[in-house]
Amino acid sequence: MSIDLAVIGGSGLYNFPGLENARRQSVDTPFGPASGDVVTGDFAGKRLAFLARHGESHSLPPHRVNYRANLWALHQLGARRVVGVNAVGGIRDDMGPRVIVVPDQIIDYTHGRFTSFCDVEGAEVKHIDFSEPYTASLRRDLLAAAARAGVPAIDGGCYGATQGPRLETRAEIARMKRDGCDLVGMTGMPEAALARELELEYACLALVANFAAGCGDEEEISIEEIFAHLAAATAEVPKILGAMLAG
């Protein structure tokens, strides 16, 4: 099966709007079950595969997502280009609620996750080059597509991946800011590294749902406001991906 693009949906994106001739597939993997069925169909004249990272009912917290199974399933179905859609908090001043960012770097603060396909007994050990964690050509295509679709998107930024599911303290965000992080999220790793191990093209569409703790003017982070901002940003995703697939 030929898949032109695979999309991994994060919080707020549990199905892909506008997908035609949709077909659900359960994919067996050597790493256990994926987050759910992979839904394939036609979008913007191309074949698209969609997988909800947290499950379609948001039943999987970030640290319990089977990232290895998810990437393996998409790869097994023939995907070669993968866009991860991630809900994030903004640290940098210009990355406030409803802003869309295509980051170019990542710092991993997670722990206790299966971070490599090499963790399996007898597997070949691969030392991947991860100096540029996102595929440059796919990043460029996303940014160009956003411009054609009339959707503002920021080029570049460092994504700090935290463990979750709790939000971070002000001190943790202050440390991340000193480290050079512009965004904070809970699902960026090990997804990006696993995609690289499988030699997949991979890029991230980061949707800012809120300012991180101690950033912006917000004294408290309201979950209701987070999901309202996230819904607004999520509505722009099909426009960007449609423009990219249409070429």
Q: What is the DSSP letter of 50?
A: E
Q: Is 53 flagged in the annotation as binding?
A: yes
Q: Which residues pair with 158 in a beta bridge?
A: 105
Lookup: tokens for 2 = 């030929």
CA-wise closest residue to 206 among 148, 136, 139? 139
Q: Is 135 flagged in the annotation as binding?
A: no
Task: Give Cα 204 distance to the centre of its chain.
Answer: 5
Gap between the Cα atoms of 129 and 35, Å rounded? 27
Q: Is 189 flagged in the annotation as binding?
A: no
Gap between the Cα atoms of 208 and 184, Å rounded? 9
Gap between the Cα atoms of 166 and 143, Å rounded? 31
Gap between the Cα atoms of 64 and 67, Å rounded? 9
Gap between the Cα atoms of 145 and 179, Å rounded? 31
Q: Which residues pair with 203 in a beta bridge?
A: 83
Q: Is 169 flagged in the annotation as binding?
A: no
Gap between the Cα atoms of 160 and 83, Å rounded? 18
Q: Is 211 flagged in the annotation as binding?
A: yes
Q: Is 187 flagged in the annotation as binding?
A: yes
Q: List all residues 6 or more positions away from 197 whose beta carbon is below 8 Å from its beta carbon.
A: 116, 117, 118, 126, 128
Alpha helices in the chain (DSSP H): 67-76, 136-149, 170-179, 191-197, 223-234, 237-246
Q: What is the DSSP letter of 117?
A: G
Annotated binding site for phosphate: 11, 53-54, 187
* Binding-site annotation: residue ranges: 11, 53-54, 186-187, 210-212
- Residue numbers in the known binding site for substrate are 186, 210-212
